[in-house]
Amino acid sequence: MNKTPQEQFMLEAISLSSHGMINNEGGPFGCVIVKNNMIIGRGHNKVISTNDPTAHAEIVAIRDACQHLGAFQLDGCQLYTSCEPCPMCLGAIYWARPEKVFYACTRSDAAQIGFDDHFIYEEIMSDQQQRKLPMKQLLRSEALKVFSSWSAKSDKTFY
């Protein structure tokens, strides 16, 4: 059966998920980023091979696509990921601002094979005092001085 362009892009993301897993680079996750019907960024999970806990497929693909575009935003792009993004990657997607996200497996599917993104979703949605991760505030007034300098800065770039 003929595949739609969207299905073909997703198959490429799934192919990357398999490739990285077979090479022991990380978990079974892949991602491609498309603009004007061309793939402009690719990524698969490289947490193990690069000792980088942030090297999830989506983050790797976003960085790759942004280098390709020479821009820090994915204007007019679609992101195809072989699994529903974890909170880190979903946050990265919001900062990168693609126009649409396609995903294949769900976060429940990921939990079934041992990746408990669900725990992180729960934690992020919890009040700070309820989280398992201890967080403590320190020296706010010192840091606010730098924020004031940012506000007063005339040559700043927003992102």
Interaction between residue 125 and a second copy (CB under 8 A): yes
Catalytic residue among 7, 12, 25, 58: 58
- In the DSSP assignment, the letter for residue 129 is G
Q: Are strands 100-105 and 77-83 parallel, antiparallel or unpaired?
A: parallel
Nearer to a second copy, 76 or 147 (CB): 147
CB of 38 to a second copy, least distance (A): 18
Interaction between residue 26 and a second copy (CB under 8 A): yes
Active site residue 58: yes
Q: Are 33 and 80 in contact (CB under 8 A)?
A: yes
Q: How many CB atoms lie within 10 A of CB 87?
A: 17
Which pair of structure tokens corresponds to residue 156?
């700043």
Interaction between residue 127 and a second copy (CB under 8 A): no
- Encoded one letter per residue, x for contact with a second copy by CB under 8 A and - for no contact, window 47-86 reads xx--xxxx----x--xx--xx-xxxxx------x-xxx-x
Interaction between residue 5 and a second copy (CB under 8 A): no
Q: How many residues bind a second copy (CB under 8 A)?
A: 85
Q: HEC profile for 96-117?
A: HCCCEEEEEECHHHHHHCCCCH
Q: At what angle do helices 57-69 and 5-22 cross, to 10 degrees?
A: 120
CB of 49 to a second copy, least distance (A): 10
74 SS3 class? coil
Interaction between residue 95 and a second copy (CB under 8 A): yes
One residue of 35, 75, 87, 118 binding a second copy per CB under 8 A: 87
